[in-house]
Amino acid sequence: MKPSEEQTVRRWSDQSDRPVRLELLFTQDPRSENLAGFCDRLAALAPRVSVQRKKSDTEGPPAIGILPNLRYHGVPEANELAPFLEAVSQAAESGETKGRADLATIQLPAGLSLYVAPGCTFCPTMVRSLTPLAAGSGNVRLSIIDAALFSESAEAQKIRSVPTLILDETFRFNGVVPLPDVMQMLVSRDPADLSPSVLLGLIEEGSAGQVADLILAHRIVFPALIDLLVDEKWPRRLGAMVALETAAAEDPALAADAVPLLLDRFSVLSDAVKGDVVYILGEIGGVELAPMLEQLAAEAASTEMAETAQEALEKVRSK
């Protein structure tokens, strides 16, 4: 930190005696050291700040976790330091903002990615505008990303200027966007437009039951859930299967809407994914699947697939 930035931290620390706990997500990415250095210096300058390191074996981007649903991927410096510190204060006082009536209107989980840069004079306005949403609503997951430090992420998202806000990997806002416009998009989205990353965020937090509740509340098997059910990564499929099975226990007919969507993709899936899809078809499908499962059991290339198909066949016949 520069001396002026250290002074900013000291003044901020002196203004409140409320304890603050941050989480440093330390990954195999070498830029983890940049974030760790900042966190160490922050804790040294502000005695009320404690930082817990959470190591991950992934190569994903490191982050400073302000809240479980608010992460900062970068080193807050220059123009970004003050709004970062304000966000930390808001997180410590988040219980006081959760009663806001406007935030209660956000019924669907939302993934917000805000790309910023330390030298940007407009970025702090967006950070200050959006962080209260995450502090006040568990349905909002906000990632603030330094577009210069994580340039590969910015390039993948075709970021040409900052600030840029992306909602659910679909909707894009450039420049300073009025908060009412963001709120309108958050509350008026079609449930069918939820992205896999949003549902995956819930699943990875152990909230597959919340995904099931969303399916039941909105009367739709989200297309994004189908994406996760056929994902090559086993933990993602498992979480999606738990969510769909939980919903099926309450409303079998609704869960069965996933059957034709899964069958449409079945032929192009790998054998490992096919096995899990056959299992879930047995859980949510009806006797109309019997001919397909009979053929699969008879023609399966592996004993494991044959057994899985046979078990699914017995389940659909018993309904």
Using pLDDT thresholds of 50, 70 and 90, give the confidence band for residue 100: low
| Model confidence pTM above 0.85 | no
Give residues with Cβ within 8 angstroms of 291, minimum separation 6: none
Fold category of 3-189 in CATH: Glutaredoxin (3.40.30)
Q: Provide the pLDDT for residue 96.
A: 52
Count CB neighbours of 127 within 10 A: 23
**pLDDT tens for residues 220-271?**
999 999 999 999 999 999 999 999 999 999 999 999 999 999 999 999 999 9
Q: Provide the pLDDT for residue 204.
A: 85
Given a cut of 60, is residue 318 above it in pLDDT? yes
Q: Provide the pLDDT for residue 94.
A: 65
Given a cut of 60, is residue 97 above it in pLDDT? no
Using pLDDT thresholds of 50, 70 and 90, give the confidence band for residue 192: confident
**pLDDT tens for residues 23-58?**
999 999 999 999 999 999 999 999 999 999 999 877
Q: Which residues of 279-313 are buried (b: 16+ CB within 10 A; e: fewer)?
A: bbbbbbbeeebeebbeebbeebeeeebeebbbebb
Domain borders along the chain are 3-189, 192-317
Using pLDDT thresholds of 50, 70 and 90, give the confidence band for residue 312: very high
